[in-house]
Amino acid sequence: MKKLLLTGATGGIGLAICDLLKDIYEITIVGRNRSKVDELLNKFKNINNFFICDLGNQEQIDSLLKEISEKSINFDILINNAGITNDSLFLRMDREKWNNVMQTNLNSNFFLTNTISKSMIKNRWGRIINITSIIAHTGNVGQANYSASKAGLIAMSKSIAQELAKRNVTVNCISPGFINTDMTSVLSEQQQQAILSKIPMGKIGSPMDVAHCVKFLASDQSEYITGQTIHINGGLVML
């Protein structure tokens, strides 16, 4: 059974990924909130491996990667799903808000991928899947930091994909639109209706829509796909 490392496991998309893939792979999860991690472990009894790590903290990332290296844990699949927002209008955005979002959404993915891909290269098989966002392509008022972090993740993924392709390691992105998660639940009814009016399919997506795409990209069936971004947005943006 192949080994899979999933960050952002306790959010809506992360939970859907765990639910869909729990019987297919040996899943190790990364979360920053111990109580939420415990809830996930209680819900999915066959997921037993976990790390507590705040990906917004570089020292914790370094400790996590050191532990993985010292224990010689070789992952076949890496899903970089963790992400945060810290919104502010561009002219009012301070350095802390910028750095916090960039650290969690972009920097942490670089360091995780840099370390974990080494065993994939050695084994000549690997899948790296980065969860980005529609905002990386459209921008959004008050989200200069978030859009930059997600757009940077896409660009970084393309470069890594070119470097690792000959080692049979694929690197792809999934760019969700509006998905029914905690991030979108804070929107008012009026805001949700305004969004729905622009989505050709007339509905907000579910976390499982993203999870099914992850399942495909993690499989052997996707072996000739790399450096790509798959959009899951109901037609809201067609690229």
Active site residues: 146
Distance (Å, rounded) from C-alpha 123 to C-alpha 119? Answer: 6
> What 3-state class would DSSP assign to 56?
coil
Helix 144-164 and helix 108-123: axis angle, to 10°? 20
- Is residue 169 a contact partner of residue 121, using CB atoms and an 8 Å limit? yes
Sign of torsion over alpha carbons 110, 114, 115, 120: positive
User: Pairing relation of β-strands 26-31 and 229-232?
Assistant: unpaired
